[in-house]
Amino acid sequence: MIPIRASLILSQMLFVLLLAGCGDSSDTGTGMAAQQRTVTTSLKPATDSRLAEGIRDAAAEHANDMSGFYLLRDGLSAFVARAVLIEEATVSLDLKYYIYQDDSVGRLLTSLLLKAADRGVRVRLLVDDLGTRVVNPWILALDRHPNMQIRVFNPVEGRSGIKRALEQAVNLGRINHRMHNKLLVADGLVMITGGRNIADGYFSKSSVEFLDVDVLSIGEVLPQSSEIFDRYWNSPVSVQVSELLIADDDEHSLEELRKRTQKLLADEEGSEFTRALEQSKMAAELASGNIPFHWGKARLMADPPEKALGKDDIPREEYPGYQLEEIIRDAKERVSISAAYFVPGVIGVDLFTGLEKQGVNVGVLTNSLSSNDVAIVHGAYARYREQLLSAGVDLWELRVVAGEERRKKWFRGDSKATLHAKTFVIDHSQGFVGSINLDGRSLLWNTEIGMLMESAEINQELHALFEEWVAPDSAWSVQLSESGKLEWHAEGDDGDAIVKHKDPDTTLWQRTLAWVLSWLPVESQI
Going by C-alpha positions, the residue among 152, 153, 148, 217 that lies closest to residue 188 is 217
- Half-sphere exposure of residue 145, counting CA atoms within 13 Å on the CB side? 28
Among residues 117, 136, 115, the alpha carbon closest in space to that of 127 is found at: 136
- Is 187 an annotated catalytic residue? yes
DSSP-derived letter for residue 187 is T
Check: CB of residue 475 under 8 Å from CB of residue 469. yes
| 346: number of Cβ within 10 Å | 10
Burial class (CB within 10 angstroms; exposed 0-12, middle 13-18, buried 19+) of 292? exposed
Say what angle helices 508-517 and 375-382 make with each other, to 10 degrees. 70
Catalytic residue among 128, 420, 439, 503: 420
**Of residues 182, 205, 252, 378, which has the active-site annotation?**
182
How many CB atoms sit inside 10 A of residue 41's CB? 11
Q: Is 427 a catalytic residue?
A: yes
**Which listed residue (74, 128, 143, 180) is catalytic?**
180
Q: Is 182 a catalytic residue?
A: yes
Instruction: Give the residue from 190, 335, 203 showing the smallest Cα distance to 272.
Output: 203
Cα 380-399-130 angle, rounded to 5 deg: 55
Which of 96, 422, 439, 503 is catalytic? The answer is 422
- Please, are residues 145 and 117 in contact by the beta-carbon 8 Å criterion? yes
Catalytic-residue membership of 103: no
User: Catalytic: which of 427, 463, 473, 489?
Assistant: 427
3-state secondary structure 128-148: EHHHHCCCCCHHHHHHCCCCE
- CA-nearest of 361, 364, 310, 355 to 334 is 361
- The answer to whether 378 is a known catalytic residue is no
Catalytic residue among 128, 129, 187, 214: 187
Judge contact between 305 and 237, C-beta under 8 A.
yes
DSSP secondary structure string, 365-432?
A: EEE-TTT-S-HHHHHHHHTTHHHHHHTT-EEEEE-TTTTHHHHHHHSSS--EEEE--EEEEETTTEEE
Q: Is 420 a catalytic residue?
A: yes
Residues 6 or more apart whose Cβ sits within 8 Å of residue 230: 40, 41, 42
Task: Report the C-alpha gap between 213 and 292 in whole angstroms.
Answer: 17
**Of 384, 386, 330, nearest to 355 (Cα)?**
330
Cβ-proximal residues to 322 (8 Å cutoff; 6+ apart), any chain? 316, 443
Catalytic residues: 180, 182, 187, 420, 422, 427
